[in-house]
Structure 1
Amino acid sequence: MKKFPLLLALLSTTVFAQATPHFDPARLSHHVEILASDAYEGRGPATAAEPKTIDYIVGQLKAIGIQPGGDLKGGTRGWTQDVPLLRASITGTPSLSITSNGTAMPLTQGDQIAVRAAMNGDKQVTLKNAPLLFVGYGTSAPERKWDDFKGVDVRGKMLVVLINDADFETGSGDFGGKAMTYYGRWTYKYEEAARRGAAGVLIVHETAPASYGWATVKNSNTNTMFDIVRADPKAAHTPFESWIQRDLAVKLFADSGLDFEAAKKAAQSRDFKPMPLKAMLSANYAVQSETIVSHNIVGRLAGAKHPDETIVYSAHWDHLGVGQPDAKGDRIYNGAVDNADGIAVLIEMARAFAAGPKPDRSILFLAVTAEEKGLLGSEYYAANPLYPLATTVGMLNTDALSTAGPARDFTISGSAKLGLLDDLIAEGAKQGRTFTPDPQTEAGHFYRSDHFPMAKRGVPAISIGSGEDLVQGGVAAGRADSEAYTRDKYHQPADEWTPAWNAAGQALDAELIYALGQRLANSREWPNWSANSEFRAVRDTTAGARRP
């Protein structure tokens, strides 16, 4: 660790000219070392690790001099926002089987299939011979004149769907080419199936269009599930939600006299029609479900001139907790990069603002829960904001920064058309750094980070990420490091802190994120979405609440 401050100092006088508040790499790394230690048991929401995590983050914010900004209780702000959630888990080992072309085939949870605990409120899931129906990408997009269902009644059927959009492999078409739309996300596939009354969903896993391997799917879906509390959960969830391995799908299609690749090719056309498979799924398992309360952590630095206007810094504190063991027998999903390092940046961001002149606008430091369960903490805050969204200037989210050292560039999650990105690029130029668009827009990162619930409600919001053009090693080294992390550590117990990290890059990213927030906090700027953005219209409806 001793080399990081020296490296940072050298870079500050060479590649990066901007002298902003110093973010100490060793301090950032130390926060991660603590939060990602086994003692925090993977920071699962509503586990014994939650109060421990809250105590650490709140303790740091208190010591820095930040004030509580959470729920009002007895006329006083607390440090947290209550987030009611439905928690569900499968009891015991589920009984799962598929009868394909007359032959019964048992399935093992986590091997050929990854089944989520029912989130529709059912305490028992019992399906007997639910017929399988291939519905392509499972998309209904009237504005694109696209309908994979073609009027077929799918009630009571088990839908087999492909992950991502119909354009993923072709690179062009009605869904914008490689860049994933929300139609490509697994969350959409489940939602559309529920709207149509299906018995369940089998999403076919393929690594490239999913952007992660089977280990990630298994670890993310076979443990305890969470959802926001809904008035009608059955409207959002089918009884059975799952992923299956590609090899299983290929066999099911072959048993039905179909070629999987040919069927996928057909699904890439708007002329596609659903294809019944000669297969049926049976399942039987109990589900333990209950409503629990998790917590967002909220600290606030009140603005000196415009305290009613807010810039939000956010990061999620949760990870996957304790789950299935890996090949080494490790069951703790420590979540060091994802996202203890984002919380480290959040804490040190608070320190930097508290140590400087009081900003004109207020700064909110928001550590959200249950991101790993579907952006639930940020969704709850966006639906129940503690400070009005109309006068929220923007959200700057941090999630999974690189540990490979300083980069000449930076990026954001997904593609965004907004003035906030222009500001970020301008601040990056002061560091001598350049903006690189998300190199994997097909992975749908825009819909996978905590800025999205705010964005869809019109608030200018982005997730800022590390670049890949490393000062030491260039793009090839940066890309190799990113790919290795996704392959070997993402959502796996191996995502652990190590003293070998080069946290100097995270410190430089933190300086950039600070500079953007400071720019917004001490100006009268109201960044907005571009005129052709899908989020512009909803933002403009609240324009009258914002003072010039």
Structure 2
Amino acid sequence: MRLLPACLFAVLPAAALAAASPEPVFSPQRLSDHIKTLSSDAFEGRGPATAGEVKTVAYITQQMKAAGLQPGGPLVNGKRTWTQDVPLLRSEIVGQPAVSIGGQALTQGNEIAIRAPMNGQKTVDIAGAPLVFVGYGVKAPERKWDDFKGVDLHGKIMVVLVNDPDFETGQGDFGGKAMTYYGRWTYKYEEGARQGAAGVLVIHETEPASYGWATVKNSNTNPQFDIVRKNPAAAHTAMEAWIQRDLAVQLFKDSGLDFEALKKQAQTRDFKPVTLKPTLSARFTADTGVITSHNVLGRLPGARHPNETVMYTGHWDHLGVGAPDAKGDRIYNGAVDNGTGIAELLEIGRAFAAAPRTDRSLVFMAVTAEEKGLLGSEYYAANPVYPLATTAGVINMDALSVAGRAHDFTISGTAKLGLLDDLIAEGKKQGRTYTPDPRVEAGGFYRSDHFSMAKRGVPAISFGSGRDLLNGGVERGNQIARDYTRDRYHQPADEWSADWDLSGLAEDADLLYDLGRDLANSRQWPDWSADSEFRAERDKTAAQRR
């Protein structure tokens, strides 16, 4: 539908104007312009605490102002700011780490990808530490599953498989192909710290990880960030790293063991940890310090219920400047990831600012440090500017399609909640259908910023563009997704292109605008399904929504 002529707005009374509620027309060209700017080399890959952040925050703030949004950040001297300070621990390995296994020297980025230490140490010095294979490294009492069987891991290196025990079989206690949080590499590192290990080596395999080694290397060998913790050693071991599958196979062979056979054993409750013959030695130092990054927030106060909030979110950061690719390019531009989401955020905000005010307040938040572990959204969720209890829903946008219009749409993961029901209903009005996450094994629900809010009970979804394209169908949609994951995801090649078809991105914006508008004008409080792991947390604050 087209916007009403400007002259009509001048003569319509407020009540008639609200009743008219013209649908916005989202411009593919405006969306493209935002992405092109944010992903240009001038923004240096939008790394937190870099010159690229300064430019990015300034651009987003300027665009929000121009759109007609109000500052939505914390109150300072009685006035709201545009940004929320996000203090982060920053750690970067100085030079090349010296690391060997069984006397074989390993090269950072080749056989191994070592993350900068986040446990508070500036120097890591490990000499001849035993390697212990602990299967999938899962301790899940509610599933009667314990991969550790009481083994003492103090002073030892935990070697662990990525994903869940039933990823390969598709059957078992961990959701089949659908990854649980136990399958995430972040959980493996956290469990290693709880077990008292000196370090954790995650074995990389492309299918269960859902991405190739290039992504692992590019994401882990650059500066690392974490929220500032009182006791960082409780969440991180001294050494956190990934190793190539071929290296793991050789380590098992050197120990007289068969990697595939032990992996099959690890898919059963009877698995017991196995000590490998080679030992690990490593020494490296890190430059560490606390930096301040920023979430950017714009707001439109509600006309009738300003203390109730509907949020749109997307992360502005990417990987910054890092290791060069085969062409020598060192800037990780992040055009799709997540220039698309920020473009969508800005244009949806612009549309709402031009429309009659909704009953509930609308907040548009561009968060930092998603690529470092959802840290900007985690900080907001722990230090909310607006009460989580009266946040009716969160609509997150991350890495959307640039391949044209689709018959369908999706969300990350398999969560069941009323907000998804509302999205499906809005989609039907567009003639679009909901397709469940086609890659539940990738654990997408735990990899986007909505998770920080969801685990605190707030109904939250991360929207995904459809793959059943009007031009080429599912086959073309899947091929484009595969090509992106292999060739551009977390690589310098994720760059803006004039050849993109952003008509689908515009249609996605229209769908998400309608979803947020209807929720913001309602008295409904979407909830999680009765069997959701997030329902109990939401129920704790039910009295505040009466």
Q: TM-score, normalised by structure 2?
A: 0.96
Shift of 1:19: 8.3
How many residue pairs match? The answer is 527
SS in structure 1 opposite 2:314?
strand
2:484 aligned partner: 485
CA displacement 1:95-150 (0-9 Å, x = unmatched)? 01111xxxx10000000000000000101010001100000000000000000000
CA displacement 1:2-27 (0-9 Å, x = unmatched)? xxx9xxxxxxxxxxxx9831110010
Distance in 1, matches of 2:343 and 2:419, equals: 23
Identity of aligned residues (%): 70
SS in structure 2 opposite 1:93?
coil
CA displacement 1:486-543 (0-9 Å, x = unmatched)? 0100000000001001111100111111110011011111000000000001101111
Shift of 1:76: 1.0
Which amino acid in the other structure matches residue 393 of structure 2?
A: G
Which amino acid in the other structure matches residue 355 of structure 2?
A: G
1:446 aligned partner: 445
Which amino acid in the other structure matches residue 459 of structure 1?
A: V
1:79 aligned partner: 82
1:384 aligned partner: 383
1:234 aligned partner: 233
1:12 aligned partner: none
Shift of 1:378: 0.2
SS in structure 2 opposite 1:131?
strand
Q: TM-score, normalised by structure 1?
A: 0.95
Distance in 2, matches of 1:127 and 1:330, equals: 34
1:56 aligned partner: 59
Whether the 8 Å CA contact 1:163–1:184 is kept in 2: the answer is: yes
After superposition, residues 156-305 of structure 1 pair within 5 angstroms as 156-305=155-304
1:401 aligned partner: 400
Shift of 1:483: 0.6
Which amino acid in the other structure matches residue 71 of structure 1?
A: P
Shift of 1:214: 0.1
Shift of 1:196: 1.1
Distance in 2, matches of 1:267 and 1:233, equals: 29
2:365 aligned partner: 366
* Structure 2 residue 35 is the aligned partner of structure 1 residue 32: yes
Distance in 1, matches of 2:359 and 2:320, equals: 39
Distance in 2, matches of 1:333 and 1:64, equals: 28
CA displacement 1:226-248 (0-9 Å, x = unmatched)? 00000000000000000000000
CA displacement 1:57-81 (0-9 Å, x = unmatched)? 0001101110001122111110000
Runs of 4+ residues over 6 Å off in structure 1 = none
* Structure 2 residue 534 is the aligned partner of structure 1 residue 531: no
1:318 aligned partner: 317
Whether the 8 Å CA contact 1:397–1:450 is kept in 2: the answer is: yes
SS in structure 2 opposite 1:407?
coil
Which amino acid in the other structure matches residue 51 of structure 1?
A: V
Which amino acid in the other structure matches residue 309 of structure 1?
A: E
Whether the 8 Å CA contact 1:163–1:186 is kept in 2: the answer is: yes
Distance in 1, matches of 2:251 and 2:66, equals: 59
CA displacement 1:340-367 (0-9 Å, x = unmatched)? 1100000001111001111100000000
Distance in 1, matches of 2:22 and 2:533, equals: 36
SS in structure 2 opposite 1:183?
helix
CA displacement 1:440-480 (0-9 Å, x = unmatched)? 10100000000001000000000001000000100000000
Distance in 2, matches of 1:380 and 1:300, equals: 19
2:503 aligned partner: 504
2:18 aligned partner: none
Distance in 2, matches of 1:349 and 1:206, equals: 38
- Unmatched runs of 5 consecutive residues or more in structure 2: 3-20
1:519 aligned partner: 518
Question: What's the C-alpha RMSD, in Å, of the aligned pairs?
Answer: 1.0
1:466 aligned partner: 465
2:49 aligned partner: 46
- Unmatched runs of 5 consecutive residues or more in structure 1: 6-17
* Structure 2 residue 70 is the aligned partner of structure 1 residue 67: yes
Whether the 8 Å CA contact 1:89–1:224 is kept in 2: the answer is: yes
CA displacement 1:138-183 (0-9 Å, x = unmatched)? 0000000000000011111101000000010010001111100000
SS in structure 1 opposite 2:97?
strand
Distance in 1, matches of 2:171 and 2:352, equals: 45
Distance in 2, matches of 1:157 and 1:530, equals: 41
Distance in 1, matches of 2:284 and 2:537, equals: 43
SS in structure 2 opposite 1:82?
strand
Pick one of 91, 94, 114 that aligns with 2:94: 91
Whether the 8 Å CA contact 1:71–1:82 is kept in 2: the answer is: no
1:13 aligned partner: none
Distance in 2, matches of 1:209 and 1:19, equals: 46
Distance in 2, matches of 1:483 and 1:345, equals: 23
Distance in 2, matches of 1:145 and 1:352, equals: 50
2:343 aligned partner: 344
SS in structure 2 opposite 1:81?
strand
Distance in 1, matches of 2:514 and 2:493, equals: 33
2:25 aligned partner: 22
1:8 aligned partner: none
Distance in 2, matches of 1:441 and 1:49, equals: 33
Distance in 1, matches of 2:74 and 2:530, equals: 35
1:420 aligned partner: 419
Distance in 1, matches of 2:72 and 2:353, equals: 15
Whether the 8 Å CA contact 1:23–1:508 is kept in 2: the answer is: yes
Distance in 2, matches of 1:449 and 1:25, equals: 24
Distance in 1, matches of 2:130 and 2:330, equals: 36
CA displacement 1:185-224 (0-9 Å, x = unmatched)? 0000000000111000110000000000000000000000
Whether the 8 Å CA contact 1:95–1:285 is kept in 2: the answer is: yes
Distance in 2, matches of 1:477 and 1:21, equals: 29
Whether the 8 Å CA contact 1:70–1:297 is kept in 2: the answer is: yes
